[in-house]
Copies of this chain bind each other. A is one copy, B any other.
Amino acid sequence: MNGAQLIVKAAVASGIEYCFANPGTTEIPLVAAMASAPALKPVLSLFEGVCTGAADGYGRIAGRPAMTLTHLGPGFANGIANLHNARRANTPIVNVIGDHASWHVNYDPPLASDIQALAGSVSGWVRTSRTASGIGEDLQEAVRSAWQAKGQIASLILPMDLQANEVARETAFTTLHAPVRRFAGDRIEAVAQALRNGQRLVFIVGDQGLSVAGLEAAGRLAQLPGVQLFAETFPRLSYRGGGLPDLDRLPYFPEVAIGVLDQYDAVVCAGIPEPISYFGYEGIPSRLAERDRLLYLADVGDDVAGALTALADALEAPAFVPTPMGVELPPANAELTPQSIGQVLAASLPDDCIVSVEGGTCGYPFFTASARAARHRVLTNTGGAIGQGIPVGFGAALAERGNRVFCLQSDGSAQYTIQTLWSIAREQLPVVILIAANHRYAILQNELRRFGMTELGPEALSLTVLDRPRIDWKALAKGYGLAASTVHTNAELQRALANAAADGGPCLIEMAL
């Protein structure tokens, strides 16, 4: 048995199912080892950002880490943007990064670079293995480190010689178990006391507070006087629909969010860090609420649902009453708008499906339209590095093979990891990719207007408009082996979604805006 085979054995023993890989020469022993160990399934992608985004989507849905395998510093660097998002989502991920042989790297060959610095920028744990016989334990330590209640990214750098070297002894590995979430009773009591004292409280619920149990408790709390609840703006995983209460999202622009939160005596953080503006705008505070107005019910990684339930119990809140269901449909023959897309998609969602949402154009309209849809889970872009939606949907589809996944995606951000189309076609997963094609970076045009450019001349447009040439989405999808169609009206979108459901395979739908 060589070091690479030991790594594979350790990964399987640690409960790792998938290895999202884009290997090179320094990972050859691992490629060979995976070829003979079917329990760790290698999933090849054409670009590393697909691997890391898929690991994020997998981790959020499966609740346990996947492995990524990338090639030295530059290969890993291609995966950093989506690891940044995964870090903000607290998704457990184990990166294995092949490196030059330990006796070779110090000669500064062409592919040498500072892998530690790159890995450190997104990881909570980084280690370079030093002995072949120890790399199995190194891998298991990486899994243990990643797979915590508040998940994190662990990166293990594996010199090629240690992968190839024979190991003297067989290592026995511990079976690892899902981490346990807890909450602090004294925090429950402090929030309950504030309400009993007549304070008006606004809750911002995040993390596992947006599970079914957490949302049902939120629905109970919402019935108490003086209580208002919001969901965090970009949740890692949020259950929605199927009778769950419709928690609005905290508004994105800081002046709006501050205006909302200011109406209450205190802001209760339930599974979120301190609420901060996404970007800093001149004259608007970074903090959405002053620190002395914050109460912490539960931290990220806590049993947020348990905390909310305990609070509802302590306050003797009424039982949860499911909200009525039913999505209003837009006029069938009208042209698509972001609002009508949200409505048509919401009405088409099958029970327990997964929706990965990325992009400013359709994100919030879908959110408002889907509150009364069938029960579904929403994955959003937690860290703002774009190119996340489709890889995350891909990983989610592997975490629940056979379950249906929808990627509601802006055209601009889809391009950063467009190679995911090939991976979805290769694995023949039931993923429907919905491209909102407005052929521009609409968010940048908004920001230019906020900055004071009332008229966007040709030069400003040249950096924000994507229609010279227009991307032909049907052709791109065909290029990667995916069936595709273009729709213009609500009825056409509805029909395309029905066809996709009947077909059961992957497809791309370009929604002309």
- Residues of chain A touching chain B, judged by Cβ–Cβ distance below 8 Å, are 21, 23-26, 28-29, 31-32, 34-36, 38, 42, 44, 46-47, 49, 72-75, 77-78, 80-81, 84-85, 88, 100-101, 103-105, 107-111, 113-114, 117-118, 120-122, 160-161, 164, 234, 273-274, 276-282, 286-287, 382-385, 387, 412, 415-416, 418-419, 422, 425-426, 443-444, 447-448, 450-451, 453, 456-457, 459-460, 462-464, 466, 468-481
CB-nearest residue of chain B relative to A4? B451
Instruction: Collect the chain B residues with CB atoms within 8 Å of residue A278's CB.
Output: 109-111
Q: In the bound complex, do residue A31 and residue B463 qualify as a contact, i.e. CB atoms below 8 Å apart?
A: yes
Instruction: Collect the chain B residues with CB atoms within 8 Å of residue A472's CB.
Output: 478-481
Instruction: Collect the chain B residues with CB atoms within 8 Å of residue A276's CB.
Output: 107-109
Instruction: Collect the chain B residues with CB atoms within 8 Å of residue A75's CB.
Output: 81, 385
Instruction: Collect the chain B residues with CB atoms within 8 Å of residue A459's CB.
Output: 34-36, 38, 42
Q: How far is the CB of A99 from chain B (nearest CB, A)?
A: 10
Do A25 and B161 form a contact, CB below 8 Å, given A73-B121, A463-B42, A475-B478?
A: no
A160 to B478, CA, bound (A): 40
A279 to B103, CA, bound (A): 11
Q: How far is the CB of A309 from chain B (nearest CB, A)?
A: 28
Closest A-B pairs by Cβ, 8 of them: A104-B280, A469-B481, A476-B479, A74-B385, A101-B280, A77-B80, A35-B459, A475-B479
Q: In the bound complex, do residue B382 and residue A110 qualify as a contact, i.e. CB atoms below 8 Å apart?
A: yes
Q: In the bound complex, do residue B471 and residue A279 qualify as a contact, i.e. CB atoms below 8 Å apart?
A: no
Instruction: Collect the chain B residues with CB atoms within 8 Å of residue A477's CB.
Output: 479
8 contacts between A and B (CB under 8 A): A75-B81, A101-B281, A107-B286, A118-B118, A422-B469, A471-B479, A476-B480, A479-B479
CB-nearest residue of chain B relative to A101? B280
13 more contacts with CB within 8 A, not counting A107-B277, A415-B419, are A31-B460, A35-B453, A46-B415, A46-B466, A47-B416, A75-B385, A80-B80, A104-B279, A109-B276, A109-B279, A117-B120, A471-B479, A477-B479
A471 to B23, CA, bound (A): 19
Instruction: Collect the chain B residues with CB atoms within 8 Å of residue A447's CB.
Output: 25, 28
Q: In the bound complex, do residue B81 and residue A31 qualify as a contact, i.e. CB atoms below 8 Å apart?
A: no
Instruction: Collect the chain B residues with CB atoms within 8 Å of residue A111's CB.
Output: 84, 278-279, 383-385
| Contact pick for A279, options B29, B74, B100, CB 8 Å | B100
Q: How far is the CB of A287 from chain B (nearest CB, A)?
A: 7
A469 to B436, CA, bound (A): 25
Q: How far is the CB of A77 from chain B (nearest CB, A)?
A: 4
Instruction: Collect the chain B residues with CB atoms within 8 Å of residue A277's CB.
Output: 104, 107, 109
A227 to B463, CA, bound (A): 54
Q: In the bound complex, do residue B109 and residue A113 qualify as a contact, i.e. CB atoms below 8 Å apart?
A: no
Instruction: Collect the chain B residues with CB atoms within 8 Å of residue A443's CB.
Output: 25
A302 to B422, CA, bound (A): 46
Q: How far is the CB of A507 from chain B (nearest CB, A)?
A: 14
